[in-house]
A and B are shown apart, each in its own frame.
Chain A
Amino acid sequence: MIDYSSVLSKTVQAIKPSGIRKFFDIANEMEDVISLSIGEPDFKTPWEIRKKAIQTLEKGRTWYSANSGMMDLRVAICNYLSRRFRLEYHPETEVLVTVGGSEAIDMGIRVLISAGDEVLIPEPCFVCYAPIVTVSGGIPVSIPTKAKNGFRLTAAELKEKITNKTKLLILPFPNNPTGAVMRRSHLEALTGVLRETNIMVLSDEIYAELTYNGSHVSIAELPGMRERTVVVNGFSKTYAMTGWRLGYAAGPAPVIKQMTKLHQFAIMCAPTTSQYAAIEAMENCDDDVRKMAEQYDERRRLIVDSLNKMGLTCFEPEGAFYVFPSIQKTGLSSEQFCTRLLQEQHVAVVPGNAFGESGEGFVRISYAASLENIMTALKRIQVFLDSLQ
């Protein structure tokens, strides 16, 4: 008998698995469960994008692409970044097309982190950063953000955690799970701290197009930041293309060069069919993006208004497709709240502490769901809250 615990990597085994898998197994067993827990658009990929992919499949264009992605796509990405966020990148040397934003995050962290480097991660946040830092030999250092600041990262919070080992800051805004966004002034406050240092920034902007009450600002656009920032973005959320697994990184040529090297060995290239589809998305689908964003915005307003009226106070999320209400006044823990809501009213939402300790006392509710489902779920949540009285 092989003792697998001695065979498997100690580092990997030490990574804590997601504690809420069990919770979703319960949800899967239920017939009439409404899930407001899912982190992907409920829309289908716009038809024109799918059609483009079908056409290239019919023509048999199914070979590997260049390692860093098809040149036409890299040009489209650069045009897009310039048009939407005033970011200027060179398609030959400063862009890498990846398997989802996830791979761009993975490669970005791996090429920047050496053993013992500290990586600052604002929490609550998407769960992938810390494990990747750990397997890269780095040390994840979380920075809890606060509801009273709208879950934004403040300059003071950042400054407090910087040591001489700090190598990288992860900047995940618009934020999953809180829906927080960093406006220009908030980013400027951070750059005041960062410009004094050699700290790099990995700016995960996958939800950039889902910014409400104004437009997204990338930190890379601010003076002195382009040279120290890797921008990560992708097609999943913007164009409802999660299953196509396509994202990208844009940044200084020396960083992209190392990322491309690793990507070449690990992945070879991102899926070619998806790349063709992505060109169509970037060149011809602004209207679809706008329409989807408008619908998210309507649902967002409805859900925030309804939750606040029920007494589940939530600050106004201005990005992504999540609201992050406080459930503290129910006296339940996040996990108790979610388990009971699921078992008693068949509505699935995610406990806030799944996104870091600082998420305890909150739950994440996704409004990437149909209006009908949202309305029914809100009624059920009301019934659940009444039953707690």
Chain B
Amino acid sequence: MEKMIKLLQQNARLSNEQLGAMLGCTAAEAAAQIADLEKRGIIKGYKPIIDYDKLDGEIVTALIELKVTPKKGLGFEEIAKRIMEYDEVDSVYLMSGGYDLSVTVKGKTFKDIALFVAHRLATLDSVISTATHFVLSCYKDTGVILCDDVKDERGQNWL
């Protein structure tokens, strides 16, 4: 299972046949393993990794630090679940340290995001404060280097 997850994290588009070969099982067994991981909710989905800098039409990403008042008996869960409902929100993490929730938001412009924070997040009852940090450049995302083309720099030493 662990090996299957590692391989899919490297490349989720390996065929069942290829996965089977690499793990030393049949394609059918590989397919069954994946089905099981999906059924148990361990694998939640498969998505491409996009370099937004290369995409026509700008996309702006921001990390927003939120300080919130936890609700009695519910802790941070209620507010976290409220925030994750917005389509603009990419991720929501509960954090240790200087603030409580880390929220990643994507929008078309800086202004879009600023307005989203002002109108949708800052106004929520339990939110005490927000701090918005815009992403200027992405060097690496989910383990994939985006800033440079990965090149084989080795010399042609065939020995």
Contact = CB atoms under 8 A, between A and B. Distances in A.
Contacts of A3: none
A127 B159 CA distance: 8
Contacts of A304: 21
Contacts of A306: 18, 21
B158 A350 contact: yes
B154 A37 contact: no
Interface in A118-151: 126-128
B8 to A, nearest CB: 12
Contacts, number: 55
Given A35-B152, A42-B152, A371-B10, A302 B157 contact: no
Interface residues of B, number: 17
Contacts of B84: none
Interface string B1-38: 00000010011001001100111100000000000000
Given A301-B21, A301-B24, A37 B159 contact: no
Interface string B63-82: 00000000000000000000
A298 B22 contact: yes
B158 A302 contact: no
Nearest to B15: A375
Instruction: Tell me what chain B mostly uses at the interface: helix, strand, loop, or mixed.
Output: loop
A66 interface: no
B156 interface: yes
A376 to B, nearest CB: 11
For B22, B158, B159, the residue with the greatest tally of chain A CB atoms inside 10 Å of its CB is B158
A38 B157 contact: yes
A191 interface: no
A373 B11 CA distance: 12
A39 B156 contact: no
Interface in B94-117: none
Contacts of A40: 154, 157
B152 A126 contact: no
Nearest to A366: B158
A375 B22 CA distance: 12
B11 A372 contact: yes
A28 B156 contact: yes
Interface in A88-111: none
Contacts of A350: 158
Contacts of B157: 38-40
A27 interface: yes
17 contacts: A24-B156, A35-B154, A35-B156, A37-B156, A37-B158, A38-B152, A38-B158, A39-B157, A42-B154, A298-B7, A299-B22, A301-B21, A302-B22, A305-B18, A348-B156, A369-B152, A372-B11
Q: Pick the 5 closest A-B CB pairs, nearest first.
A: A305-B21, A298-B22, A24-B156, A37-B158, A39-B159
